[in-house]
A and B are shown apart, each in its own frame.
Chain A
């Protein structure tokens, strides 16, 4: 069956450290993968999109990798700050038509 999975346990890290979140998928061959941030009581906010032919993409303190052989994406936040505390969601769009399939999200907590 098709699945997209993220670490279900919350990730707690110290301010200034690098947070690494994992997204694994099975039985999909996505052309691209997206990462979103969601704060309590709000809708998801788009952060980054990485295509299958891109191994790595960066935006400010964010870095995403995409390994289509391992069927895995890693999402890194360097020099983390308490303001980075939120739930992070990965999403696939298998048919490239906008119908997003989301993972369950990983809650990140950055302590000062």
Chain B
């Protein structure tokens, strides 16, 4: 079946602009996660949704970052007033029920802020 998909695969923007990154999880997966990965580093947790609600948003670096999952499936990560330091690969993962269930990752969106 289809895995986790993310769009766009690449996004180049200018400092100060607003961006939206989209994640389509595996159908039927109730848990959805966003991570950020810088070059040479492992993924860093940002936020976790269980259904429509954010169960843990402790990894969001500041209030410029916001994520939604209004219908419990597709999620959008929104970044306002982008900064060069936001450049990274943004990964989305989903799991069947959350908790310790296996997480399936998408290919990521590479964000470059000029």
Residues of A within 8 A of B (CB): 32, 41-46, 49, 89, 91, 93, 96-105
Shortest Cβ gap from A38 to chain B (Å):
9
Tell me what chain B mostly uses at the interface: helix, strand, loop, or mixed: loop
Question: How many angstroms between the C-alpha atoms of A91 and B33 in the bound complex?
Answer: 15
Asked if B99 and A43 make an inter-chain contact with CB atoms under 8 angstroms apart, the answer reads no
Q: How far is the CA of A100 from the CA of B47 in the complex (A)?
A: 11
Stretch at the interface among B61-69, B72-80, B104-112: B104-112
How long is the Cα–Cα vector from A98 to B55 in the complex, in angstroms? 10
Bound-state CA distance A105–B91 (Å) is: 16
* Chain B contact patch, size range: 20 to 34
**CA–CA, A41 to B40, complex, Å?**
13
Number of interchain pairs (Cβ within 8 Å): 63
Q: Is B52 engaged at the interface, CB distance under 8 Å to the other chain?
A: no
Contacts of A99 in B (CB 8 A): 33, 45, 48, 56, 58-59
Q: Which residue on B lies nearest to A101, using beta carbons?
A: B45
Q: How far is the CB of B50 from chain A (nearest CB, A)?
A: 9
A97 contacts B56, C-beta separation under 8 Å: yes
In Å, the complex CA distance between A38 and B113 comes to: 24
A-side contacts of B108, CB under 8 Å: 41-43
Instruction: Among A45, A91, A97, point to the contact of B42 (Cβ < 8 A).
Output: A91
Asked if A96 and B4 sit within 8 Å, CB to CB, the answer is no
**What are 10 A-B interface contacts by the 8 Å CB criterion?**
A43-B4, A43-B91, A43-B108, A49-B102, A96-B99, A98-B31, A98-B103, A99-B58, A100-B35, A104-B42
A104 contacts which chain B residues (CB < 8 A)? 40-42
Q: A98-B98, A99-B48, A102-B43 are in contact. List 16 more A-B contacts (CB 8 A).
A: A42-B108, A43-B4, A43-B105, A43-B108, A46-B104, A89-B42, A91-B42, A97-B56, A98-B33, A98-B100, A99-B59, A100-B43, A104-B42, A105-B40, A105-B41, A105-B42
